[in-house]
Amino acid sequence: MANMFALILVIATLVTGILWCIDKFIFAPKRREKRAAAQAAAGNTLDAQTLKKVEPKPGWLETGASVFPVLAIVLVVRSFIYEPFQIPSGSMMPTLLIGDFILVEKFAYGIKDPIYQKTLIETGHPKRGDIAVFKYPKEPTLDYIKRVVGLPGDRVTYDPISKEVTVEPNCSSGQACGKALPVTYSNVEPSDFVQTFSARNGGEASSGFFQLPLDQTKSGGIRLDERKETLGEVSHNILMVPIAQDQVGMYYNRTSTWIVPPGHYFMMGDNRDNSADSRYWGFVPEANLVGKATAIWMSFEKQEGEWPTGVRLSRIGGIH
């Protein structure tokens, strides 16, 4: 079932919609009749303000009926067109930063009912390189955001030492694959970000990320490396912790090569050493997909779990 807010929104829209219909088709005609009779009895001398006092609309009915159009628009837009999300962690840095507020295109991967999230109309499927929001398979009440790396049938290999991805399409049989997808990398360069480390919480690093010039540092911090990854036709930057090396024993099925099952997707965060993703908990069913991240509509300067300290207007725009 969808999150509680969606359920409350549907119920509120339904209730106010019923009140709107009752008012429009039952009470409003009666009010018009009584006001017309009063106007006729007064010889057409009553002004609009006086007429409103004849059979006035109950306050509870007026409020419910007036709120309905607003709720209906919000429900349609949020359920079928765009939904806003906030980025709470640094797992998708440098593409998305903590404090970014994004718009997610809900119809990109199918039009779904707002309660049970069952697909009503198929409109498309994720492509490699998409940034997708989805329900975390192990706890569907949580929304995760990652980049689509592997499609159904792909063989995905991740080298924990070089931190590079290899994708071989259409390997669902487990046999030799066809031509590998072109995945290329630029040289490793120091990034603009310095990371300070703290205890982990639920798999995602609860560390601090600070954007500092290359000639500055922070006590106890490590400057992250950055390079450009080109996944087929999609290019984006990824971050890496220079001293970090993943333990394959912690990976899903204790392997660094996965064949994506039919109807599932392999997701990875752009902040490769600070992302709990498909490497650790497996594949994302298509039914869990929420939509495609398309734009940043607001961005606040902040750290994970802390209050904002500023606004980053320069980040408003499309997501790549």
CB under 8 Å to 297, separation ≥6 — which residues?
A: 84, 101, 102, 103, 316
Distance CA 223, CA 216 (A): 10
Using CA atoms, how far residue 8 sits from 14, 63, 199, in Å, is 10, 18, 35
Distance CA 229, CA 181 (A): 13
91 annotated active-site: yes
Q: Say which of 89, 91, 275, 299 is annotated catalytic.
A: 91
Write out the two tokens for 27: 């009470």
Phi/psi at 36 (5° precision): -65, -40
Distance CA 313, CA 300 (A): 8
Q: Under a CB-based contact definition with an 8 Å cutoff, are residues 306 and 99 in contact?
A: no
Distance CA 279, CA 192 (A): 26
Q: Say which of 112, 146, 163, 302 is annotated catalytic.
A: 146
146 annotated active-site: yes
Among the listed residues 194, 195, 201, 191, the one whose alpha carbon sits nearest the alpha carbon of residue 305: 201
Q: Which residues are catalytic?
A: 91, 146
